[in-house]
Each structure stands twice: as structure tokens, then as C-alpha cells.
Amino acid sequence: MNGVLRFTVALAPLFALWALAASVVAIRAARTDFAVAARRGLFAATVCALVAVAGLTAGLISFDLSSRFVMQSSSALMPIRYVPAAFLAAPGGALLVLAALVGAAGLAMTGGRRHDALTSRWTVACVAGAIIVPLAIAALGAPFDLPIGARQDGAGLSPDLQRGATTLHALALMLGTACATVSFALTAAAVASRTVDERWSARVRVWNALAWTALFVGAIAGARWYALNPVRGAWLSDPVTALWLLPTATGAWLVHLDSGRATAERAVTRVLLIAATFVGATLALTFGAGAFVTGAASALTHRAGWWVGATPAAAVLLLVVLLRRGDGALASASRIADDVRSPVAAWIAHAGFVLVVAAAVGARFTRDRTVALGDAEIFRARDPFGHQWSFASQGISTLQRENYASLTVSLMPKRDDQQLAMLSAEARSYTLASGDDAGPPAFITGHLAGPFLETRLTVVEPEGKRPTLRITFVPLAPWLAVGGWLLAIGTVAPLLRRRREPTS
């Protein structure tokens, strides 16, 4: 079975290359047969990517010992709920998912007879060109080859990635990048075929909204991941994390600030912002190994990251050439009149934005307290709102499992003499089959959330009878997730209304 999957992964970039070449011939020679062949090539590349994704997923679930990707990304003891995180933790899985999403969306946008022939040919060419490099690097990673020097029970998933917010962060960023890629392909095709009109505007606004919503949800989930994972440090301290803010910012402009009747100058700005969103998302993906900050280049070779970076560079060059040669390409832009946003959706989005800003301001007033507590000892502190807290230690509990040992510290908190739910934090030490430590301990932060305050407990030093703990008070932290979801709902809800209008 792995031999068939290896052959499928090797064929995928070849089919994408054929789709690109056939599209170029169809555009330059006006050949309908080559246009049909190009779309079939894109279909074959997408199917190959989907088959490979299904094969890797089945291998992770069944723990296939003969697959290099499975042995490097999971272990026999890994719970099934971590399969999505293990799949997207390395380029071999993440890039295949990206190619499958982009290819499927490109096929959906070029099917049927309602689309202009030249625009469809350019769209197929741009989509095929966008997925060639991801498919090639996934094939070079040889995910279905035999493992090289892997442990018999698998290398296991990094404890850093075994968190709920991590999977949402990865999936959202991957989906946002795919939607941004489709939006860029539609835009480049419209500029090349001189069809920058209302139909183009309506189509790209849908994809821009989906891309920005996914990127924003990914950013919120990433912030949560960092907040409950003290090993990672500050959220924006890593350059790759900060790089994701570029497509999020340009996408926010396209979705929330670019509306109303267009002019040629505004159309140029919209085209450039769409390109900037695609380039920013692809660059962040290049150095983030899909959705995690582990580095695509380090996971394969030091040159692999630059090959992925060639995709946005080629996209920018293509767009510049099309804008310079396409005299009159934006002539019809002055007739674009975008739909007026629903006032209810606008108010929902505004409310979400206010909550997100309030949460960001509240985080500036965070208070940390570090203390060593033994059994039955009590620690008292005040939160930023002036409430008196007391934390009574409930002692230390230890647990020995087959592949890790955990130490849990529990505190019974009171706020102004009102009893609250127990607060627990954990430190895990993962071990290899030989009994040696797999790496530094993994710290799992406990948290207690109220309407205006979140209290977090982290184990700083687990050794000894009086472990060192960090108690953190974060004002308005629960508002971040609520505001993020309100912003997402206010952005996506108008798209559903527009889709129902033609059928009514």
C-alpha cells in the first residue's frame, strides 16, 4: 500500500506542472483542448494530494510502522485526538493539505459555463503554479518511505503541540492560506483577462472574507496557545508568529475597510493588498512548517524554505508583469459597486473588535506572583481589581504512566472569602523506551476564568516538597475569545445572505 502512496505523491507535482504548461499553451494559442487538459491535470494533482492525505491520516490512526512520517510525528501511545496536530506538525502533511485545499477550490471556481474562458484558463494556471512547489517538497520529504533510525514505538508528538488550541491554530492558518491563494489566483486571472469587474469583486470578497476570518481565528488560537504554554514565552516574541500579522492586517483592510463604489486607483490598491495577503501568508507558512513555528527548511533541508519562498516571489513578478502589460485591464473597475454590508453584521463585528481591543488593553495590567508552597500552606494576593485572593495548597500528587511521569499541584482558591473551583497545574516528564528523558519537562497551565478575570497557575520548579508556582491574574482575558468569534460571525454572516439572494 505504501508503494502506491509513494507513487501517488510523486505524480502529484508532475500533474500540477502539466496543468501549468497546458494552461500557458491554451492562453497563448487559444486552444480549447489544452484548456481541458490543463483542468484535468489540476484535477489529477488534487486527487493525488487528497489520496496522500487520506493515506497519512489512516497511517497515523493505525500507527503504521512502515511509514517515515508516522514514525517521526507520532507514537504508539499517542491519543487519537492529537492526530490533526501530528498531521500538520511537519511539512510532509501540512503542504499536502494546503495543495489539496487550493486545488479543490480552484476546480470549484473554474467549473461550469458561467465563467469567462480566458479567465478560467488563467485561474487554472495560477492555481497549478501555486501548488507545484508544496507538492514537490512534500514528495521530496518521502513521507511514505521506510523510517530511518526511528524508535520502535515512534518519536512521538512534541508535548508543546499536545494542546487543544494548537490544533485550531494550525487548521485555521492552513485554511486562511488556502483561501488567500485562491483569491490571488482569481485576481491575477482577472487582471490578465481584463475582467476586473463586479463579478470579480463579488468572488474575491467572499474568498477574502474567508481568508481573513480563518487567519484571525488562527491568531486568537495562537495567542491562547502561547498564554497557556509558558515554555514559548511572549506571543509575538517569535518572528514567525509576528509574520502572520501581515496577512491578517492586509486581509482586515480588504474585508472591513475596502467597500463602496470603486475607482481605478482603489482597484489597484485592492489588487496589491490581495497580493500582499497571499505573499505574507505563504512566507509565514514557509518558515513555520505549515502552522507551527518549527521551520520548513529545518524539517527537510536548509534550501527547502527558499524553494517555498519562490512561490510568492513568482506571484509578485507575475502580477507586476500583468499590470504593466495589461493596458485597460482596470478600465471596468469604475463600474464596481460592492454590496452594502448588513448593519446587524457590522454591529456584531464592531462589538467583537471592541472586546478584542479591551482584552489587549487589560493584558497590560497583568499581575504575576511567584511563590513556593508546601502542603496546607496558604498564599494571599490581590488581583488588579483589588479583590483579595487566598490559595490553600492541597498537596502534590504524582502519576507514573508508560511514557511519562506527571506531577500535579492543586490549590483551593478563595476570592473575598468566596470558595471557587480547584486550580491545578501539571509538570510532565516524557521518557523514552530506554527510560531516559525525551527532553525538558512539559508544563500544563491551569486556569480559572470569570467574566472579567482569568487566573492562571503554572509550575515553575517541580523539584522538592515545596514546588515553585507562578500565579497570574489577567484582566479581561476571557473577552479575547468572545470578541474573536463575534468578529468572525460578523464577517461570515453577510456571505451567507448573498448566497441565498439569487435563489429567492
pLDDT for 95-117, tens place per residue? 888 899 999 988 888 876 556 78
**Quick one: how far is CA 478 from the chain centroid?**
21
Residue 303 has a pLDDT of: 44
Q: Are residues 331 and 412 in the same domain?
A: no
Residue 16 has a pLDDT of: 92
Q: Are residues 146 and 182 in the same domain?
A: no
- Percent of all residues in the chain with a pLDDT value above 70, rounded to a whole number: 78
In a domain, 484, yes or no: no
Among 272, 306, 340, which residue terminates a domain? 340
Q: Are residues 112 and 98 in the same domain?
A: yes
In a domain, 499, yes or no: no
Residue 332 has a pLDDT of: 52
Residue 49 has a pLDDT of: 92
- Percent of all residues in the chain with a pLDDT value above 90, rounded to a whole number: 17
Q: Please tell me which of 129-143, 154-168, 305-319 the model is most confident about, judged by mean pLDDT.
A: 129-143
In a domain, 346, yes or no: no
Q: Are residues 63 and 87 in the same domain?
A: yes
In a domain, 502, yes or no: no
The identity of residue 259, as a single letter, is S
Average pLDDT of the residues in 156-164? 73
Residue 296 has a pLDDT of: 37
15-70 pLDDT tens trace: 999 999 999 899 888 888 888 999 999 999 999 999 999 988 888 888 777 777 88
- Rounded to the nearest integer, the mean pLDDT of the chain is 79
Residue 471 has a pLDDT of: 92
Structural domain that includes position 421? 366-476
Distance CA 65, CA 68 (A): 8
Q: Given its phi and psi angles, is residue 230 left (phi above 0), alpha (psi -120 to 50 degrees) or beta?
A: alpha
Query: Which position has the higher pLDDT, 317 or 493?
Result: 493
- Whether 293 has a pLDDT exceeding 60, the answer reads no
Q: How sure is the predictor about 390, in pLDDT bands with cuts at 50, 70 and 90?
A: very high
Residue 292 has a pLDDT of: 44
Residue 290 has a pLDDT of: 41
Among 306, 324, 340, which residue terminates a domain? 340
Q: Are residues 52 and 11 in the same domain?
A: yes
The cell for 181 is 491563494
Distance CA 170, CA 162 (A): 12
Residue 78 has a pLDDT of: 76
Q: Are residues 149 and 15 in the same domain?
A: yes
Nearest one of 408, 412, 380, 369 to 394, comparing CA atoms = 412
191-233 pLDDT tens trace: 888 777 778 888 888 899 999 999 998 888 888 888 887 777 7
Residue 152 has a pLDDT of: 58
Q: How sure is the predictor about 499, in pLDDT bands with cuts at 50, 70 and 90?
A: very low
Q: How sure is the predictor about 162, in pLDDT bands with cuts at 50, 70 and 90?
A: confident
Distance CA 400, CA 466 (A): 20
Domain count, the chain: 3
Distance CA 100, CA 106 (A): 10
243-263 pLDDT tens trace: 788 888 888 888 877 665 566
Burial class of 218 by CB neighbour count within 10 A (0 to 12, 13 to 18, 19+): buried
Using DSSP, state whether 343 is helix, strand or coil: helix
In a domain, 101, yes or no: yes
- Whether 405 has a pLDDT exceeding 80, the answer reads no
Query: Which position has the higher pLDDT, 87 or 318?
Result: 87
Q: Given its phi and psi angles, is residue 415 left (phi above 0), alpha (psi -120 to 50 degrees) or beta?
A: beta
- For 371, phi then psi, to 5°, come to -150, 150
Q: Are residues 10 and 145 in the same domain?
A: yes
The cell for 115 is 465563467
In a domain, 297, yes or no: yes
In a domain, 483, yes or no: no
Q: Given its phi and psi angles, is residue 233 left (phi above 0), alpha (psi -120 to 50 degrees) or beta?
A: left
Distance CA 370, CA 15 (A): 58
Q: Are residues 230 and 303 in the same domain?
A: yes
Q: Are residues 227 and 188 in the same domain?
A: yes
Distance CA 205, CA 208 (A): 5
| Cβ(440)–Cβ(158) below 8 Å | no
Burial class of 142 by CB neighbour count within 10 A (0 to 12, 13 to 18, 19+): middle
- Residue 267: CB partners within 8 Å, gap ≥ 6? 196, 330, 333, 336
Average pLDDT of the residues in 445-460? 90
Bridge partners, residue 388, by sequence: 382
Q: Are residues 168 and 309 in the same domain?
A: yes
| Cβ(212)–Cβ(255) below 8 Å | yes
In a domain, 351, yes or no: no
The two beta strands, 442-444 and 367-372, are unpaired
Residue 339 has a pLDDT of: 55
Say how many CA atoms lie within 13 Å of 359 toward its Cβ.
Answer: 19
Residue 316 has a pLDDT of: 67
Distance CA 390, CA 388 (A): 7
Average pLDDT of the residues in 401-416? 83
Residue 479 has a pLDDT of: 92
Query: Which position has the higher pLDDT, 321 or 490?
Result: 490
Among 123, 143, 160, which residue terminates a domain? 160
Residue 436 has a pLDDT of: 62
Average pLDDT of the residues in 391-419? 84
Residue 402 has a pLDDT of: 66
Nearest one of 316, 309, 288 to 184, comparing CA atoms = 316
Q: Are residues 147 and 184 in the same domain?
A: no
Q: Are residues 138 and 191 in the same domain?
A: no
Give the lowest-confidence range in 133-142, 259-268, 276-285, 418-427.
Answer: 259-268
The cell for 119 is 479567465
Specify the length of the chain in residues.
Answer: 504
